[in-house]
Structure 1
Amino acid sequence: MKIDSPKIHGSLIIISTIIFFPVAILLILIRFAAHARVNHLRVKDYKIVGHAFLTFYGLIVAILLGVTASEPDFGAGDFTLMAIVFGIILGAPAFIFYLLANNRKNKMQNLYGRYYQLTTSEGVHTVSALAQLTGESESNVKQDISYMIATDRLPGARLNPATGQIAMDGRRSSGSPDAEAAAATERPAGRPPVAVTCFGCGASSQIVPGVQAECEFCGNALSVSGR
């Protein structure tokens, strides 16, 4: 199953920030609009905005250093004042977007854990039932379950987008509460995901023991022993 990838790569936004900041803002707006209904990409969207603001601040500091070196009338005090002013103007939104990214990341990790528990341990195998139990829209649930399947966060599962049925271990559930409860008692409960810290970027991800997965932030391979 194909995983949705960013419509506009983050490196292009960072390069645009260095060349001409308004272009970067336009690309960010386009990326946000393109990802409006792609839950697992929103964390990256918020982080790339924070990166863009800090990159622009670094560019301004470099310009101020150049002005300080070339203009005798522009002293160290002027440089410090301007650096602080721009630090507040650009640092504040960067901090806000990093905070939004962290909150979104925690929300999605908790939501993925809830999906996993409901489908593997509680025998809930319909998108409509998951939507009712989690408070998410059915379209969001379909998208989230598809992403979990594609990234091995929900091993052995298959989703029928047309009917909203989720088949576990190749077996289709009838969708009725009694049938789903019976199916839950027929098979052992799956292993719950555990938090793993990426050795590349330091981000935390929920990984099912014994299942190979990727860091959702930098793409490094992650795994946990199934013992």
Structure 2
Amino acid sequence: MAALDEEYKDSPAVNTVFMYISIFFLMPIFMLLMLYRMSQHRNYTHKKISDCRLKGTFAMFFYLVYVIGMLSSEFSATGLVAFSILFLLPSLYQFHKAKRIKRKLHKRLEQYQNYFMENQVTTIERLGKLTGERPEIVKNELLHWIYIGVLENIDVQANRVFIYGSYQEPQVSQRHVHIEVNHTAPHRPHPSREAVAPPPPPKPKTVQCHGCGASMTIMEGETKRCEYCDSILS
């Protein structure tokens, strides 16, 4: 019998049985944590985006593991089709769903801004009816945009939105509107012979995208979309 090097080991570095056991244990742990995240994020639209990406990455990982394993063994068309249906298609669907949720989130941001500027709607319940979302979701979306600095001069307390600035007063016929506006001085119209000086033109400013970190130059008071990730810049 040929002599063997004393340092040679024919067994795997980690026992194969242990590896299979770890897969079966870690997968349930991941799924339990994922279910917990989803239950906690049901009223947070921006967090649902990361959940969809995480589920898509998880399914794609198992699909790639199978494909890599198939390359080192006999090709099985049936197995490839089965794993594509079980893991590849759900993975692609989750990534597509994340993009769709993100587009809807940014679309609702534009709706919120229009309601604040034009219609003076500042109750969470009313915003929910106008956008078709539950009040809890609307409130958390507004808090998210305020937290990252997209919505300025706005505060959310309880079920009302408080606006600080020079928004126009709402029409008397809009009884459902409740607005708190802080003005530096009450508006008292008075006759004046002198022409009122026009307001200064808006100045350009450089902002950093909260989505991808890119820098862009926009005018003060202007809202644009990022050229790289389509996020709202203001």
- Please give the TM-score of this superposition, normalised by the length of structure 2: 0.61
The change in CA–CA distance for 1:63 and 1:207 in structure 2 (over 3 A counts) is same
Alignment length (residue pairs)? 175
Among candidates 40, 52, 71, match of residue 34 of structure 1: 40
Aligned mates of 2:23, 2:102 — CA distance in 1: 25
The 5 Å alignment of 1:127-146 reads 127-146=124-143
Q: Offset of 1:82 from its aligned partner?
A: 3.5
Q: Which runs of 5+ in 1 are unaligned?
A: 1-15, 69-73, 209-227
* Structure number having the greater helix percentage: 1
Aligned mates of 1:17, 1:31 — CA distance in 2: 21
Alignment of 1:92 onto 2:89: yes
After superposition, give the CA deviation of every residue in 1:56-97 in whole Å (9 maximum; x if it has no partner). Answer: 1112223333x42xxxxx3xxx25654444233211111221
Question: What code does the residue aligned with 2:163 have?
Answer: M
The structure that has the greater radius of gyration is 2
The change in CA–CA distance for 1:171 and 1:195 in structure 2 (over 3 A counts) is closer
The 5 Å alignment of 1:1-227 reads 20-65=26-71, 67-68=72-73, 74=74, 78=75, 82-161=79-158, 164-169=159-164, 177=174, 191=221, 193-198=223-228, 203-208=229-234
Q: Offset of 1:50 from its aligned partner?
A: 0.8
Q: Offset of 1:98 from its aligned partner?
A: 1.7
Say which SS state the counterpart of residue 45 (structure 1) adopts: helix
More off after superposition, 86-95 vs 107-116: 86-95
After superposition, give the CA deviation of every residue in 1:27-52 in whole Å (9 maximum; x if it has no partner). Answer: 22221112112122111111111111
Q: Which protein, 1 or 2, shows the higher relative CO under an 8 Å CA cutoff with sep ≥ 6?
A: 1
After superposition, give the CA deviation of every residue in 1:123-167 in whole Å (9 maximum; x if it has no partner). Answer: 222223222322222222211111111112211111112xx2322
Tell me what 1:224 maps to: none
The change in CA–CA distance for 1:151 and 1:26 in structure 2 (over 3 A counts) is same
CA contact (8 A) 1:159 1:167 kept: yes
The CA RMSD over aligned residues, in Å, is 3.7
The change in CA–CA distance for 1:90 and 1:121 in structure 2 (over 3 A counts) is same
Q: Which runs of 5+ in 2 are unaligned?
A: 1-21, 188-198, 200-219
The change in CA–CA distance for 1:155 and 1:22 in structure 2 (over 3 A counts) is same
Tell me what 1:222 maps to: none
The change in CA–CA distance for 1:121 and 1:99 in structure 2 (over 3 A counts) is same
Tell me what 1:8 maps to: none
More off after superposition, 83-92 vs 93-102: 83-92
Identity of aligned residues (%): 20
CA contact (8 A) 2:44 2:140 kept: yes
